[in-house]
Chain A
């Protein structure tokens, strides 16, 4: 008998606990937003910073009087790098804490896991990380870079400025690198690069023994043609990769490595002196010289209470996303999802590199592409900056998506409109 009572009791407890607690500080006069970043588990290393950045942005906004005259309240939860938990937490934030919008996710897996939740419960997610594209949801705004806002300009730079003819596409074996490399390969070959001048290599997550691969790269590079590495290696594996590069004496002058997932944050774990000249492509660098950025960095250092803490591209993406949301809400005069979805398209807010970011109908934003070289102090020096580029959700270099576009304005309101068939709903057939 006892047992059964316990079992029932536990279920009940669970029900209450999850409701009770959040009920606790749900005051009426605040507007709530959700912050959905892993604070534990493998992704905490990258995502915790974004959680702090969001809290800072909220604080700053509240100093300016919040939004719609109400204070903003951030509800922070920890999905613990566990994808199903992301979905659960998203559901909880929306249907229970009644948040107006959610800012979060890092990996594509986490985004894919919450996407159905946001569409079902009709809420808004701002996704601040560069990703493989090939997606456009009515309820998600992609404020990070799409491949055409990062990968392709970087390759162009190497091709034109450094005269690279031979390419190593090295990545962690998951969807973002796979897709990006597919796009890049198609792009390079369209530029007349021979198939055997492209070497593609995949490694497992958190790969830490790079001896063989770095040697392979060196050998591949010793064929007399100018060679470069395009790295889509995922966060954790980068430090050992660069350490191995440095130790095996791969110099940027000989074989430059351009990375899409290595920012100030990752370099913080490295002695960059031997890496000077290796590149990264982002839409923002901490070293960018602009008032907005200076102010932002100052706030950041003040907020974290340490001027060692660096800023990085996803933080800028979060900054843009948050401000865009605030502006849209002000314009709509309400936090109601549909209203905001309407007003936010076309909203333009300053970015941190001295320009402006506009939210496009495909729920991606305009971004300048910056190519930076690693400096001895762990910062990047911008060696090339493009004018703002519109994020291309459906890559033009993948056969199945080149005909697709997304436009969430009325009357089209479609995430996968096929310009060839003139129908909404993918390539059809």
Chain B
């Protein structure tokens, strides 16, 4: 049953995309470690982390696409789940520092020492154990999503109302995490990590592994997402998006359907955050900023919502663009970025991938039409297909 569930996911584009991801998971580290720095094919270490970051963003966008593109829930708070996953990982990394902090306190992270806290807050316990931390990466965002969704979907909050309260959620969390008394390092957040599972986070090797992991995780989540999308459940999701009441009158429990999707998506976002933190070396409340969550929506839209591949491409394109422009035209990059968003909404309403697919389908339809007309003489087909 499971295997059928998974096999169903493996449709053309997805297979290719997963292939590509797995390929770069191997290729990029290889080019970084094996190819000498001089060569044109060498990928500098900083670029590895940079791409790693893009992949995490891509995963976040994918997570959003699942709820937005398929279920029609526009979450303006997905950054919150991302950040929570990040914090869970960050807390593990902080505990790993141990007595190598500037104060050399074996237990307390530096920020607690100089705000002279006496003992570790309860919620920091267990984070010295990797498995527990990883569990939390899934549980914390998942739980928040569950509680939030449980109430919101049951009381049938939807449309902009839902969007705005998700925004309120992430905004509230941002304010909360900015407070030093919360015990998460205030606005400085968690940083200056030393190592992860004993490997130095700075080491090129670790960076490459993290990169590879990001790529593999993205591939895995893509697989899952696609499996969900192609299952009957996926069809119901789209149904909910297009005609919620019809789905209800067909006897489906819409709130459960939404809740499940929301939680899965939140967990994916959490994973993305957890992979993001060791690669960029800091997590701080800024990640909760509503603007970040909106940007995720933008990536997804740019790539094409409801296409699974789209958000991945969107996230990478926009962020690659950002990296480039912030360096190349520091004064003017915002014009470029803003312009991009407007252009996409006006000229590519379906997003990059969506538009391509559309063209694809249109051509198929044409082909079909041609077939119907030109009944038997099929030798015309190749030209028609071109």
Contact = CB atoms under 8 A, between A and B. Distances in A.
A195 interface: no
Given A3-B309, A7-B313, A398 B188 contact: no
Contacts of A425: 99-100, 104
A116 B206 CA distance: 15
Contacts of A204: 175, 178
Contacts of A135: 102
B231 interface: no
Contacts of B153: none
Interface stretch (B139-147, B239-247, B321-329): B321-329
A95 B46 contact: yes
B178 A3 contact: no
B322 to A, nearest CB: 8
Given A11-B51, A112-B282, A3 B353 contact: yes
A429 B106 contact: yes
A68 to B, nearest CB: 25
A95 B356 CA distance: 38
A120 interface: yes
Given A10-B317, A87-B281, A178-B186, A4 B326 contact: no
Given A2-B356, A179-B115, A204-B178, A109 B284 contact: yes
A92 B323 CA distance: 10
B87 interface: no
B280 interface: yes
A91 B19 contact: no
Nearest to B357: A3
Contacts of A17: 320, 323-324, 328
A21 B329 CA distance: 10
Contacts of B361: none
A404 B189 CA distance: 23
Contact of A426 (B20, B50, B101, B331): B101
B280 A84 contact: yes
A89 B284 contact: no
B171 to A, nearest CB: 11
B163 interface: no
Given A78-B326, A427-B104, A116 B192 contact: yes
A80 B191 contact: no
Interface in A52-82: 76-80, 82
Contact of B102 (A4, A116, A205, A415): A415
B345 to A, nearest CB: 20
A21 B17 contact: no
A250 B179 CA distance: 28
B315 to A, nearest CB: 10
Interface string B305-321: 00001001100110010
Nearest to A80: B326
A174 interface: yes
Nearest to A399: B116
Contact of B316 (A10, A22, A92, A95): A10
A95 B44 contact: yes
B64 interface: no
Contacts of B327: 18, 21-22, 77-78, 89, 92
Interface string B54-84: 1000000000000000000000000000000
B312 A426 contact: no
Contact of A112 (B188, B202, B320): B188
User: Which range holds the interface residue count of chain B?
Assistant: 35 or more
Given A76-B330, A77-B327, A112-B192, A96 B99 contact: no
A345 interface: no
Nearest to B103: A426
A85 interface: yes
A77 B326 contact: yes
Interface string B283-318: 010110000000000000000000001001100110
A6 B13 CA distance: 12
A313 B309 CA distance: 50
B53 A11 contact: no
Interface string A380-422: 0000000000000000001111001000000000011010000
A134 B330 CA distance: 32
A88 B113 CA distance: 28
B280 A6 contact: no
Contacts of A3: 13, 16-17, 309, 313, 353, 356
B189 A426 contact: no
B114 interface: yes
B114 A107 contact: no
Nearest to B54: A14
A428 B323 CA distance: 41
B36 to A, nearest CB: 16
A360 B384 CA distance: 78
A425 B356 CA distance: 58
B54 A85 contact: no
Interface string A83-123: 11101110110011000000000011100110111001000
B224 to A, nearest CB: 19
Contacts of B110: 134
A108 B320 CA distance: 27
Contacts of B43: 15
B262 interface: no
Contact of B320 (A1, A8, A14, A429): A14
B47 A15 contact: yes
Most chain A beta carbons < 10 A, residue from B50, B111, B175, B186: B186
A10 to B, nearest CB: 5
Contact of A175 (B50, B100, B180, B326): B180
B124 interface: no
Nearest to A428: B104
Contacts of B352: 6
Most chain B beta carbons < 10 A, residue from A95, A116, A399: A116
A40 interface: yes
B316 A82 contact: no
Nearest to B179: A173
B24 interface: yes
B193 to A, nearest CB: 7
A4 B17 contact: yes
A427 B16 contact: no
Interface string B168-204: 0000000100111000011111011100000000100
Given A78-B333, A174-B180, A416-B104, A11 B187 contact: no
B370 to A, nearest CB: 21
Interface in A2-46: 2-4, 6-8, 10-11, 13-15, 17-19, 21-22, 39-40
Given A8-B20, A173-B186, 9 more contacts: A7-B17, A10-B313, A14-B323, A15-B43, A79-B326, A84-B276, A112-B282, A178-B186, A182-B116
15 contacts: A8-B24, A14-B320, A15-B47, A15-B51, A39-B330, A78-B330, A92-B46, A96-B46, A112-B282, A175-B188, A178-B180, A178-B186, A182-B115, A182-B116, A205-B178
Pairs of residues from A and B, 4 with the lowest C-beta to C-beta distance, nearest first: A426-B104, A14-B320, A78-B330, A426-B103
